[in-house]
Amino acid sequence: MRRIKVDPQFHQRVVAFNSSLFSTRSTKFKNPLAALGTMSVLKGTRKKYGIENTVAEAYVKAIIAEYQHILSADEAEMQILIVKFRGILHEDNITEKFWKAIVKAMQYSALRGKEMLQFLQKSNIRTCVYCHSQLTLVVNKTKTTLKGLLQLDHKYPKSKFPFLCTSFYNLYPICSNCNMSKSDDPTDFNFYCKDDQLDLLTFGVKSSSVLQYERTGNLEDLVITIKQLDQTTDLSEYHRMFNIKNIYETQTDIVQELIEKKQVYNNPYNQTLINNFNRLFSDQSMIKRLIIGNYDRPEDMLQRPMAKFTQEIARDLKLIK
């Protein structure tokens, strides 16, 4: 719902990240280029991956030749790469054995387990980019340990485009529910963009329903609105796939709390808090976070689940600016 703008500074961070990818790993770690190099030499005439060996070799060698470009390719560059690789082997003819071997060689699981997680945390991206209601980490249980595992969606599925399995701009941090809902289905949503229209949707509450609630105290009277801001994108499939309407129309308890807080946290009272507890509340921003119980700035919407919904409802109620 809220996208990341890829300005020169952000892209430079991505390039720097990819240029040193896996550099802190131990000497036992198999570098992707080394693993791909092994894959690129197939002896004999047997179809090791269920496709002609010469085709498999050409495909893998193309990954090796374009490796650094692939890692940092933006949306337009990925489209060009797709056409190039399609000329070697069409995605509909890629076998499961072949794409899984490429994904393993390119160390997607390792990237997901450490490097990508660290980059996202430093970038304050911790929430599902599709629904904004859940964290991107799930608990992965083994026989001996419990470990947080990052959920990533491939805009271009790794089963069809395995060469893009570790391409930064092809990886969308999401929650497990959205991951299961989307699967390999395509979506028009581009998380990384170059324009200034970062929000596709905005949340509000119908003013007449607030007045009705204040008279009755009945949560069912509150009506949450979802307005599309970007008219160039068809979001009907997005709503269906990620169940946005059903997720947020049930959050009337959050709206109720914000309405009640509005009665207490007026500007004079907020200034009193700053004056009396200036070590705790150095400015209005900290007061806003205290009031709404979440991040209050649009640029922090991906830091915590429900941040976008909470701050937009709070602004609609004039609780914060």
Dihedral angle sign, alpha carbons of residues 241, 246, 249, 254: negative
Helices (H), 206-306: 207-216, 236-242, 244-248, 252-264, 267-276, 284-292
Q: Using alpha carbons only, what angle is made at residue 129 by residues 149 and 17, rounded to the nearest 5 degrees?
A: 65
How many residues comprise the chain? 321
128, 153 contact by CB (below 8 A): no
Distance CA 259, CA 88 (A): 59
pLDDT of residue 43: 82
Distance CA 171, CA 259 (A): 38
Number of alpha carbons in the 13 Å side-chain half-sphere of residue 35:
15
pTM of the predicted model as reported, rounded to 2 decimal places: 0.90
> Which of 77, 80, 309, 296 lies closest to 194 in space, CA to CA?
77
pLDDT of residue 147: 72
> Which of 309, 175, 194 lies closest to 253 in space, CA to CA?
309
Phi and psi (nearest 5°) for 135? Answer: -75, 165
pLDDT of residue 282: 67
258, 314 contact by CB (below 8 A): yes
pLDDT of residue 89: 97
pLDDT of residue 148: 74
Q: Sort 199 into a burial class: Cβ within 10 Å, 0-12 / 13-18 / 19+.
A: middle
Distance CA 227, CA 200 (A): 9
As averages over each run of 10 residues, the pLDDT of the chain (321 residues) reads 93 96 94 96 86 95 98 97 98 97 97 94 94 88 74 95 98 93 85 92 96 95 92 79 91 95 82 76 76 93 96 95 84
> Which of 125, 173, 134 lies closest to 152 in space, CA to CA?
173
